[in-house]
Structure 1
Amino acid sequence: MAEDQEREEGQERPSRPSTAAARRERRGAARPAARKDADGKAEPRSKARPDNAAKSDSADRKGRPTPTRDRKDDRGSIFARTSRFLREVVSELRKVIWPTRKQLIGYTAVVLVFVTFMVALVAGLDVGLGKGVFWLFG
């Protein structure tokens, strides 16, 4: 009933994109088109800059330099590293675009048909070549 009232008012709930391509397009639309300088001005990514200008601005735009590689990291205990790894795995799995049940069934059917065809092809070639060898050599 509440959905009908929303539709009558002309406000629709934002729906989740149903295809992977639509989700990628939606994510791409949310990204900024240009980088911003220290001044706050947008600079197109394709704009070519002279090498000397890039070097003089790099310290201003980027901030402090990257720490040296010789610095020793405090990696923490094995339990802290393991829990961090598992948190990162879960966060990466949230980014995965999972197929719908319909897509999964379709993909599974395609794979099973292809594997069945390939097994039949290899078995037929094996039997045919085996009979040919026995006929030739005896």
Structure 2
Amino acid sequence: MAKTSKSEKAVKPNVFMRIGLFIKQIIDELRKVVTPTAKELFFWSLAVFIFVLLLMALVTGMDFGLGKATLWVFG
């Protein structure tokens, strides 16, 4: 078994070094963010709005149908 010298061991960073590294990584990731154009923002907002309306219609239909079925079964 080979002995490792103290200089070869990985130095465990202290809490301040880890916080600094974390903030540096956050800044690096934020630099990659691309701001959408006005046209893209409008169409994505429209798509989300339509999707939410469809989900609302689905949930409303299920609520109405299950309510009617419950009334039919339990009278």
Could you state the TM-score of these two structures normalised by the residue count of structure 1?
0.42
Q: Are 2:54 and 1:117 equivalent residues in the alignment?
A: yes
Paired position in structure 2 for 1:103 = 40
Distance 1:104 1:75 in 2: 44
Distance 2:33 2:56 in 1: 32
Cα 1:104–1:72 change in 2 (3 A) is farther
Matches within 5 A, 1:45-84: 72-84=9-21
Paired position in structure 2 for 1:133 = 70
Q: Which runs of 5+ in 2 are unaligned?
A: 1-7
Please give the per-residue CA displacement for 1:26-57, whole angstroms capped at 9, x wherever unaligned: xxxxxxxxxxxxxxxxxxxxxxxxxxxxxxxx
The percentage of counterpart residues that share the same residue type is 41
**What secondary structure, in the 3-state scheme, does the structure 1 residue paired with 2:51 have?**
helix
Paired position in structure 1 for 2:24 = 87
Corresponding residue pairs, total: 68
Distance 1:98 1:87 in 2: 21
Q: Which runs of 5+ in 1 are unaligned?
A: 1-70
Which stretch shifts more, 97-106 or 87-96? 97-106
The structure showing larger relative contact order (alpha-carbon pairs under 8 Å, at least 6 residues apart) is 1
Q: Runs of 4 or more off by more than 3 Å in structure 1?
A: none
Matches within 5 A, 1:22-61: none
Which structure has greater strand proportion?
A: 1
Distance 2:9 2:39 in 1: 50
**C-alpha RMSD of the superposition:** 2.0
Question: 2:53 corresponds to which letter in structure 1?
Answer: T
